[in-house]
Each structure stands twice: as structure tokens, then as C-alpha cells.
Chain A
Amino acid sequence: MKERLKELEKAAFEDLKKVKDASSLEEFRIRYLGKKGLISSVMKGIGKLPAEQRPEIGRLANELREKITKEYEGLKKRIQKQEKEKVFIDITLPGRSIPRGHFHPISTVINEVCDIFVKMGFRIVTGPEVELDYYNFEALNIPKDHPARDMQDTFYITDNLLLRTHTSPIQVRVMEAQKPPVAIICPGKVYRRDSDVSHTPMFHQVEGLLVDKGVSFGDLKGVLTLFVHKMFGADTKLRFRPSFFPFTEPSAEVDIQCVICKGKGCRTCSFTGWLEILGSGMVDPAVYKFVGYDEDEYSGFAFGMGIERIAMLKYGIEDIQLFYKNEIRFLRQF
């Protein structure tokens, strides 16, 4: 019996060497370790042995089973690993992607600009695109027959109705409707009778207004500096210089250091190193008169910016006309 176990062991290890894959491994298991396998049949034969041999043969047979099982398990792991490694998928095939749409870059930039101001506590307000002369000009201290009207060439519907030339009329509408504090940001389409390489007859502006007790020109500088830093990066240099808008006094133009050449001078900034991006100023007392605010009690500032200009700087677009051609090859890039 001992010899038989020895032979069995020898044969098992020989067979084990021949195992190459999962199926031959399974055959091996059934042959040696299965319920009707060779080791089981030896075990079954133990009962027929003389009583004194039984314990020893039983022990040897168990040992052999454990030994083979151990080898079998080891080999099984190796083969399973091999089998898994054999599975091949071409990971370079294109995935079943879901077609992606694209936001118009103007929408994206409007959202970015508004978000910055909303976080500072401004609230978003809108107004009509077809406006009354009164709101677009008169109440903004731009009377008829004033040279300031030349600053904006206007599309008219009638003598009194026009396409708003800026988002500023919203200021007046809001101030008419409520008392301070007013902290609003007003995005929207505006229209000017102007079309050439650098102008489109329709474009977008975002206007802002803050009126409360004790608002100073220093606050205007603070809010707009913060905006520029959030929009163009904290290391963007900016400067404020005197300008003129009929509805602000003092007025300030805000220039940022050219984002293209970093102030060294290039085509985009006309070799000045600076880019004009914002018009601003302290609300003119004349405007308070129109809306019935007491100029001794309240002060505030307003600002406005062209979204196309900011988008052009942000994305490096040189031709403003591209925004309104609606070519998918343009839009797909955003």
C-alpha cells in the first residue's frame, strides 16, 4: 500500500507538470482529488487493510492529499492569472461617447462675470432691449442735442423708442423702483449703429451699480480691482484714469495690463501695454434727481463692460465678427 501511495505521488507530480491550462487542470483535479479520484479510492481501500496498518496508511494518504492539493491550488492560481492576462480588448477603440454640446463663449463669459459680482453681494437684474429714450439717454443725463449722444450711434424704432445702446437704463429703472441699498449687476444685449472689423451692431454688456450711504470712489476702485483680479488673475495690474460719461462724475476708465504681451506692448494693446476694459464712475447727482434719491444722503458708483472684448482677451479671439457667424467650427472650441 505504501508503494502504491509512492507511485501515486510520483504520477501526480508528473501529471501536474503536464497541466497547461484550466481544462487540463480540471482533469487533473478530477483524476486525483475528485470524489471518485485516485486518492479517494486509496482512502476507500483502507478499510480492507489490517487494523494495525490502517492508521499509518490513513495518515500517509491524508498527507499526500494535502501535498497534492497544495500544489494544485498554487498551480490553479498561476493558471487563472495566465488566463486573465490572455483576455484582450483594444482599449484604443473610440468609446461610445455621448455627443457633447457647446456653450456660446459669450454666455460663458457673462456667467463668469456675473458670478464674481453675485459672490460680492450684487443681485442680477435685467431690463428691456427696446427702450424709451428717457431711460436710455434722458434720465442718464444725456439730453437731446448733447454732444454725448455722438458717443453712441442709435437704432431708432420711433422718436421715443430705440434699441438700448447700453445696459445703463436698467440702473434708472431699478433706482426708480426701490430705495437704496442698491447693488445690482445687469447683463444683456445692446445695439449700436456700427458695423466694421471691430464692431458688430449687436453686442453684450454687463452693467453694475452700487448705491448706499457712504459709498466712495475708493470703494469703486476696490470692487473693480477685485473683479479684475478674479477675472484675469490676482497678479493682473490695472489702472484707473479720468474719463467722461454723462451719468457719472468723476468718471474712470479702467485699463488692465495687456494680457497678451504682459505690458510690453503688442498689436492687441496698440503698443501701449494697456487694454481698456471697463468704464466706471461715481453716479452723477443729475441721475439721482431723475430717480428721486437724495444726493446728500446717498452716493454710489456704476460700471459697465463689453463682454465680447473680455471674451476676445480670454480666448485670444481677434475677430469680433466670429461671435455672430455661428459656425460650428468656432463654437466647438468652447
Chain B
Amino acid sequence: MLGIVALLAGGISVAPLFCETPTAPATLNRRSVPAMLFRAPAAQKATWVKPFLLDRFAVTNADYARFVSMHTEWRRGNVKSLFVDEGYLRHWPSATGSAREESDSPVTNVSWFAARAYCRAQSGRLPTLLEWERAAAEPMIVHSHQGERPQPQSIESLVLAWYEKTSPAALPRIGSTYENRLGLYDLHGLIWEWVEDFNALPISSDSRGGIDRALFCAGGAAAGINAADYAAYMRYAFRSSLQARFSVQNLGFRCASDAGGRP
């Protein structure tokens, strides 16, 4: 009898810990991406992309700082060199967080391993390449402000304008580029984003030589990208140049999860 009372008492004291769900705010900020038959830029035919959830915004410096405070093995200085390179979080003045004015800017200089660990901690995962391309292909919503005529802009022109600019020292904050039809922000024009299978395309980083067939099994199957879709070509070329531990000043990420909330 006493044992049961002790158990209940223990249970009651533990309950508040279970009520705290630091992951709840992150998952609430994910939007549903419906299923679609979608042809990715590099694919020869359309594939069925199952429904999934994707973060509305890229992960910010503030978000990542919270993660690092709870998972100190990912602190700059603590983290193992298998998982990051020397540039990991180089834009943070300290190992604990970014400059205040960059709090709401997307976190960059994070490796693929780091991004995955963050998403796992938020009950999620990185989106696959196909999922990301499918979500990013959605058109822009144009908002009309008071007294202004809405300014339509194609995503392609937005991306090409972004390529032309040199990277600013401090990245703009999330939400500063555009919203698409699914309520997702900045999929183009702000940062490059990690995907789960960034190393899925065996394209030689030297495009002049084509695919080095000696290096790849079933090498002939990797299709080319439509030469007119320069923006897509740049994205694929960029991804194929990456190694999992790399930090890049304008490469960040956002998280996804399977429809139903499970990663």
C-alpha cells in the first residue's frame, strides 16, 4: 500500500517534466505538404511524393543556440571532427550563440550531421531532395500591401537575382523573401538548404568531364538537368560539391517529418 502511494507521489512529481515538450513549438510551425506526382529537375519522369510536414521557416540562429545549450556535444569546441569542419558556427562570436541582430536569421555554417541531429531533437528529420524540390516548386503568393499594386515575380528571377548578389555579412531574417502557396517561406533566395540525401546524385563536380563512369555503378542512369533551368542546375551542382561535414556561410536547413508527426 505504501509502495503504491510512493509510486503515485513519484509519478506526480515527474509529471511536470513530461508536460514540458520543448519540441512542441517547433512541430507546430510545420506545414502540411500534400502528396503530388512531381517531376524533379534532374528526373526523367514524375514520381509520387507522399504527403509530409515541412518547417515554415529555416532554422534560425536562436533556434540552434537553444539546441546547443541542451545538447552540449554539439557546442563549438566540443563537437567531434568527424561531424563538423573548422568553420562550424564560425559566425557566432561565442560558442553559445550568435550576435543578437542575427538571432532571427537562418543558422548557417552547420554540417549535415549537425542539421540531422537538430531535426531529430525536434521529432523530425531533414527533408529528402525530392520533398524539398517538390515544396520549393510551389508558386509564390503575392501579398498586396496598403495602396500598393502587388508586384508579381517569378521564382526563377528571384533566384537569379540572389545568385547575382554577393553574400551579405549578416543574412537577412527568416520570412524576408517570399511566402509560397503552401505557407512556406524563403525556400529560394535566402540560403541553400541541406537535404537528407544530398549525396544521392553521383554527378562529378567537374561538369566538363561529364559523369566519370568508372567511378559509379550503373553510372549511365544519372540524367541531366534541363539546361534552361539554370537555377536548378546550380542547386544540384552545389549539392554535389558538398561533403557531410562542411560548413558554408549561406547553407542552412529546415526540418521535416512524416505526415502524422512521426519523423
- A and B are partners in one complex rather than unrelated chains: no
